[in-house]
């Protein structure tokens, strides 16, 4: 009996030593795999050069009442810097000419400027301002920034079916302390690394919003772009749908089209 007790004590001691080591190794593997998935998803979307597209924003309140806004979106890839993005509102008339300019940065927070025609002023948005609603939608200004790989830490969680595909589910945590989110869960298919769903958790860890992505189409025989994105807010019961169309790739755009001065020319 004493021998059995001694044996169990040794097993218990070994478990205390070995299990943390194994757990630590698994943790490293999940972090590495999460980063690998995020990097692959970014790589397959790179190289398109630039594009112009139409976007219809449909805002729906908790009672199902809808309002619509029409935008033009311009995006330019800038090598070793990040994307340049311009959202220009065209309809309805009361928001026409309103614009959001984003300079994406790989190693620091993105720069954002907002132009309101009524005041003819360009306003720079600080990090706290980026947590606010983008033009009354369920997308925040932070959500409009490109998800550069360097802006998050990652952890692979599991595989599970999505649509008719298999998806990986990864957790990403914003590096910036000014982020509105404590973490996000991202579903990528393992066929083309397309995003199908993102769950957003607020600073308290509560599930705040869910983005669902669908209707992918391939352009230039290589790049997949979604035609429909729906952001649902689980707190206020509202949702915003972004319908994309009329993509034109490799058009006449350069960095001069994405400056604070160019914002005033959008009126």
Q: Supply the CATH number for residue 265's domain.
A: 2.50.20.10
Total domains in the chain come to: 1
DSSP string for 239-256: EEEEEEEEEEES-S--GG
The answer to the question of residue 232 being in a domain is yes
2 occurs within a structural domain = no
CA atoms within 13 A on the CB side of 42: 17
In a domain, 30, yes or no: no
Asked if residue 29 belongs to a domain, the reply is no
Between CA 8 and CA 13, with CA 9 as vertex, the angle to 5 degrees is 115
Determine contact, residues 102/257, Cβ cutoff 8 Å.
Answer: no
- pLDDT tens per residue, range 22-77: 344 488 999 999 999 999 999 999 999 999 999 999 999 999 999 999 999 999 99
Residue-range definition of the domain harbouring residue 184: 48-267
Which tens digits make up the pLDDT trace of 62-107?
A: 999 999 999 999 999 998 788 999 999 999 999 999 999 999 987 7
Distance CA 9, CA 240 (A): 59
In a domain, 32, yes or no: no
- The H-or-E segment that residue 188 falls in is strand 181-189
| Claim: this prediction has a pTM higher than 0.85 | yes
Contact 178, 128 (CB under 8 A): yes
């Amino acid at each position: 009996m004493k021998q059995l007790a001694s044996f169990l004590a040794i097993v218990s001691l070994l478990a205390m030593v070995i299990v943390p080591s194994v757990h630590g190794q698994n943790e490293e593997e999940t972090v590495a795999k999460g980063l690998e998935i995020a990097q692959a998803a970014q790589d397959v979307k790179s190289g398109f050069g630039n594009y112009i597209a139409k976007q219809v924003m449909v805002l729906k309140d908790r009672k199902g009442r809808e309002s619509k806004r029409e935008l033009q979106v311009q995006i330019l890839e800038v090598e070793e810097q990040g994307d340049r993005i311009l959202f220009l509102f065209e309809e309805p008339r009361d928001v026409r000419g309103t614009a959001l300019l984003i300079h994406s940065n790989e190693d620091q927070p993105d720069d954002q400027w907002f132009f309101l025609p009524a005041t003819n002023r360009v306003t720079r948005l600080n990090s706290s301002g980026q947590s606010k609603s983008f033009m009354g939608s369920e997308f925040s200004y932070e959500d409009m920034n490109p998800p550069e790989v360097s802006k998050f830490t990652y952890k692979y969680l599991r595989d599970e079916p999505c649509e008719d595909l298999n998806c990986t589910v990864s957790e990403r945590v914003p590096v910036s302390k000014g982020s509105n989110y404590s973490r996000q869960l991202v579903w990528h298919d393992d066929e083309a690394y397309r995003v199908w769903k993102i769950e957003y958790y607020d600073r308290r860890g509560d599930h705040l919003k869910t983005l669902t992505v669908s209707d992918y189409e391939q352009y230039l025989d290589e790049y997949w772009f979604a035609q429909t994105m729906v952001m649902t807010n689980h707190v206020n019961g509202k949702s915003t749908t972004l319908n994309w169309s009329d993509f034109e790739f490799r058009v006449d755009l350069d960095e001069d089209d994405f400056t604070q001065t160019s914002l005033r020319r959008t009126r």
